[in-house]
Structure 1
Amino acid sequence: MKQVLLGMVLMAGLAGAEEYRADWNDLNRYPQAEWISEAKFGLYWHWNYNSIAGFNGWYGRNMYNGPDGYVFKYHKEKHGNPAEFGYKDFAPLFTAEKFSAKQWVEDAERIGAKFIVGMAVHHDGFDLYDSSYTPWNSVDKPPHIDVIGELAKEARKKGFKFGATSHLAWNWTYFSSFMYPDKYDAKEAPELYNIHDPEKGPSEAWVKEWYARTTELIDKYELDFLWFDFGTKDKGFSDQYTAKLTAHYYNKSVEWGKTVALATKIGFENRKSQVHGVEHGKFGYIRYPQWMSDSTLNKGWFYMGAEEDPKQITGEFWLYQLIDIVSKNGTLLLNIGPQADGSWKEEWKQELFRMGDWLKLNGEAVYGTKPWHRYGEGPTHDGDAEHYNLGRNLTKDDVRFTRKENVLYAIVCGWRNEPIHIRSLGKNELPDLGINSITMLGSGERIKWDLKDDALRISFPEKPPCEYAYVFKIEGKGLFPERAPEYLPVHVEPPKEKVAALRISLPGHKQQLSIAEVVAVGRSNWAKINRVPEAEITMSSCETDPMLAADLNMNGHPNMHSVARSETETDPWMLVTLPEPMNILDLEVLGGMENWDAFSKNGKIEALDADGKVIHTWRVKACLEVQKAATDYLGLSG
């Protein structure tokens, strides 16, 4: 164990000391960017020819989907037959007469964002920067503006980190699926439409171009942040190009003398050094390492001019999502779809300014905070790490927790005329708790409180200092008990044999053990992933061919129903059956609930083969000791 511990510490200490290789294991030693975890909230924009059409987020693709398609019909009625007025013909209309990078960044600052991101290229392949590899870019074509360059300049003037998103990887099939074989005007602009046979996958030449265009984007603007949409998991990209690009980015950051953040959804296997992104969704528990919700204010991502969900186009909704995400160790990257001329819809801007007003007053409970040992309590608990499942507004009965050094923040998500009873802060939960003071941010009134065994009761002041949510700043002793983290990576001596199931147990404790999620990552047969019977509690998801993540994804919390629970009549244990036997490379247990402290001391995880024979055993305590030593060394604990 000492050798394993020493190895992990030395490996952490060497991060950045030598050139990173295009190998996922080596790339995992790159440190996660602490700045993005401190910032918590970033803003970016979807804006290009789709904004001119203003009808469908994938307009460029769907306008070619044939006479029966609703986008095709709309385009023909509005602009004419695609053979006569194609996607390329929007170019002279993209004049951006009201675009101002300075105004965009100033408005983002007013909203409360702490880092700025520009969409460099969407699936359509039109680069919003000075690209050397395609004439279809915003400098050579209208509006003749280096959008990314101007945003980067204005963002850095104000001290913001700046990044870009790339959706280019899917360009090889974006137009091809409907246009191939050249039904409309593809021959007129081959560099834009990039027609391939979608059944054959991206060509070698196209993947090399993707690599060249992306590395130019990285190098030219010295990006602090880079986010990839989907597409890179498809055959043709493979580890050869995704790992090579990641190594290039990390090595450039060493040359620049700064830590960068790489965020992805799928297709990159440096799972410990990247920021995992969930599209318009979130996790239902505190997740380590850090993660990001990539979400959109308007449902079309691009400006659609259509009627929006009135609940979602509010500062209230996005503030509550931010509070919930931050309490779970996440960051919110929020998208806005500007109008075709480069202006923002005024109603949206004003709503987000209300969110910014709240953050200006209460930001100390959000920016630079870390999660407490429990993210919250109350009736509302949403999040399953699935796309397009953000969840509901929080209520006046919901509390979310954050911490900063020796201060605990309890954020109550609505004004109350009656006291709030916080069970997580009762003497039964925290026997050593002694409170020195409780104040409400923004209020000068004295706060009345009463500490009982079952809960801490806090009364609200006479006047609300703001709207939406109210932050109690709590100081005292015993607020931060030594508890096992709710994230346990088990990456010590994986078995060489194929694992068919995992048995998680807590010997000698005839109580209930509950866990939110178990993730086993390993080599397997990707084609068989979806053959898991619906009756199985084990769910599966593909990371990257041929990687497989077998996921008991019940995403729970003490106040949620969706947790996996053991029997109580016997020694607590639960069995996780993998979709098929595989060679495990990494194993994680997340979101431990009942008896988690006991499990951290005496629990074990056994790997079983197809015959049910135990082929390997991990002792939870030993794994936690390795994890704690590494996080202490990196300054991530506490």
Structure 2
Amino acid sequence: MKRRTLLKHLGISVPGMILAQHTLSSCMLNGSKNRDIARGPFQPTWESLETYQTPAWFRDAKLGMWAHWGPQCQPEAGDWYARGMYQEGSHQYKYHLDKYGHPSVFGFKDVINEWKAEKWDPEELVTLYKSAGAKYFMAMANHHDNLDMYNSTYQPDWNSTKVGPKKDIIDGWAKAARKNGLPFGVSVHAAHAWSWYETAQRSDKNGPYAGIPYDGKMTKADGAGKWWEGLDPQDLYAQNHPLSKNSENDGMIHRQWHWGNGVAQPTQEYIDKFYNRTIELIDKYGPNLVYFDDSQLPFWPISDAGLRIAAHMYNKSIGDHGELRAVINGKILDENQRKAMVWDIERGQSNDIEPLPWQTDTCIGSWHYDRSIYETKRYKSAKTVIHMLVDVVSKNGNLMLNIPVRGDGSIDELERQVVEEIGGWMKLNGESIYGTRPWKVFGEGPAQESAAALSAQGFNEGKGKPFSAEDIRFATKGEVLYAIVMGWPEDGVVKIKSLAAASADYPKEINKVELVGTKQPLKFERTLDGLLVYFPKEEVSDSYAVPLRIV
């Protein structure tokens, strides 16, 4: 049977894509070297996975918090450090040169050795996030830098129990989450190390180190007499392969994220290793949620490895719990793929009510800790985060918020203040968030009129008009309608046009309007122009957004 015919038979549609030659060797069929898929109703095809139903715990939770934390936080120089430090002339390259030395001598493997996580207290941090209103918690299991943050059989040397902090980071986070009664998630990014690390194959073009290769091609033999003696850098960097087409173009990685456009095709061994690492992660730590930093599932469409991982997680969840409680996130999903998993929008939000539950992931700073953001006080405010949360919830979504963690395992006092302010608002107003569902319309007001369209996997965050008291967002729970006013009205009156006397969306009578946070009844008047609500003279505390309970 021809490759494309077999893929169609298995329910895998790849129109217009060119499949890697190795795809069907052992990747399509579980060979002896691959861990088995758990038995159950789900098969590794999109058609089978499309029968998935999002579990109630996720739909009700609304707010999760994320520790996007690993060795790239150690330099405190922002996201994608392990790639940027090999880009001659970039700010991270210059930073690395000043702090550590030249990347031909001191590479990212050596940054890992500097990372000790000496102040890490997972229970204290997860307890803080729970007090801030988080209903689930996610930790990074690996990033594009390819270091596993757990005791990994299939990445035996380059994992956090053997190098760096020499601690099982995922185990620590998982125990802290469960002690706090929170569903636990892991984020998995390592599928892309293959092409992402290609900058490590370069050398300087100018200056005293011109022509001297960075450490991306080093081998086990090069470690003699060094701290990493006996370790093979290629197990980390995975660079024993030709460069992708136009690899010298630093932006090309984004156009090749789908494993096309001239990307160097990963070997079967590399795909199998990732598959086994991820299945072991699921089996050993039992996450309720797995977030993949992939366009759809890892290695799709050149391999079905991601489909097999998804089928395994769903089947295992049913076997462990008697029902499906698992959630898997993916990025750029078509209409059918959104039925198979929960669509994640990075640093952005939908502009309408989505028919299926979804999630946005964002950060109050840089994904990996960046000291310059701390020093210049450029974190997102609690007000901004709460506005995002309210908007996302009104459209059937959840918010996953990253609080950047320093290399030592702590968060700074400015971040802590933001988290605590979020918690203050959630304690007063969480009723209007948790367990709600979208109303007939998500809201009204000028902010939506200027909302930016999604770009790729998201990235429309903060591009529209800021929210004000003229903006309203809605949510429902049973017979209650919540209208959340995105600010305190200066004149003391809010007009909600969607609830006008002639509204087809709300034809029944309105008997009571009260502030959720204080339970204070408010005077109101329903006219043909809208529902007029008269606010108290004294502004209530934490009035970043003001939920009204309407019955």
Note whether the superposition's TM-score is higher than 0.5. Answer: yes
1:460 maps to what in 2? 535
Q: Alpha carbons of 1:469 and 1:455: their partners in 2 closer, same or farther (altered >3 Å)? A: same
Matched, 1:210 2:274: yes
CA distance in 2, matches of 1:234, 1:117: 19
- Superposed, 1:46-61 pairs within 5 Å as 46-61=68-83
Q: What residue is the counterpart of 1:412 in the other structure?
A: 485
* Corresponding residue number in structure 1 for 2:372: 306
Paired AA for residue 385 in structure 1? L
Aligned AA for 1:343? Answer: S
Identify the structure with the greater strand proportion: 1
Q: Are 1:259 and 2:325 counterparts?
A: yes
* Correspondence for 2:192: 170
Corresponding residue to 1:194 among 225, 238, 245: 238
State how far apart, in whole Å, the 1-side matches of 2:494 and 2:404 are.
38
The code of the aligned residue for 2:173 comes to L
Deviation at 1:228, TM superposition (A): 0.4
Alpha-carbon offset, residue 227 of structure 1 = 0.5
Structure 2 equivalent of residue 429 of structure 1? 503
Which structure is higher in RCO with an 8 Å CA cutoff and minimum separation 6?
A: 2
Structure 2: which 5+ runs fail to align? Answer: 1-37, 204-211, 220-232, 245-263
User: Aligned AA for 2:198?
Assistant: S
AA aligned to 2:516 is L
Shift in CA distance, 17/236, structure 1 to aligned 2, threshold 3 Å = closer
Q: How does 1:136-535 map to 2 (within 5 A)?
A: 136-179=158-201, 183-186=213-216, 187-188=218-219, 189-195=233-239, 196-199=241-244, 200-230=264-294, 238-257=302-321, 258-266=324-332, 270-298=337-365, 300-307=366-373, 312-381=379-448, 382-386=451-455, 387-391=458-462, 392-416=465-489, 417-430=491-504, 432-467=507-542, 468-475=544-551
1:460 counterpart letter in structure 2? F
Q: Cα deviation per residue 1:239-298 (whole Å; 9 max; x = unaligned)? A: 521211111111111111141001101479632031101110110111111111011110
Q: CA shift at 1:151, angstroms?
A: 1.0
Give 2:30's aligned residue: none
The alignment partner of 1:89 has SS state of: helix
8 Å contact kept, 1:201–1:236:
no
SS in 2 for 1:380: helix
Query: C-alpha distance in 2, partners of 1:211/1:473?
Result: 48
Deviations 1:450-504 (A, max 9, x none): 11122111101233333211111010xxxxxxxxxxxxxxxxxxxxxxxxxxxxx
Distance change (3 Å), C-alpha of 1:383 and 1:112: farther
Equivalents in 1 of 2:51, 2:303: separation in Å? 17
Structure 1: distance between partners of 2:521 and 2:101: 67
1:81 partner amino acid: H
Q: Deviations over 1:370-404 (max 9, x none)?
A: 01001111111135333221135411111110100
Number of equivalent positions: 458
Q: Aligned-pair RMSD on alpha carbons?
A: 2.2
Counterpart Cα distance in 2 of 1:236 and 1:357: 42
CA distance in 2, matches of 1:393, 1:266: 26
* 1:271 alignment partner, SS class: helix
C-alpha contact (below 8 Å) 1:28/1:273 kept by paired residues: yes
Q: TM-score, normalised by structure 1?
A: 0.69
Identify which of 140, 161, 165 aligns with 1:119.
Answer: 140
Q: Report the alpha carbon displacement of residue 180 of structure 1 after superposing the two structures with TM.
A: 5.7
Task: Describe the shift of the 1:401–1:118 C-alpha distance in structure 2 as closer, same or farther (beyond 3 A).
Answer: same
| Partner AA of 2:346 in structure 1 | E
1:34 corresponds to: 56
Partner Cα distance (2:373, 2:444) in 1:
34
Counterpart Cα distance in 2 of 1:359 and 1:234: 35
2:260 counterpart residue number: none
| Structure 2 CA distance for aligned equivalents of residues 233 and 327 of structure 1 | 27
Opposite residue 427 of structure 1, the aligned amino acid is A
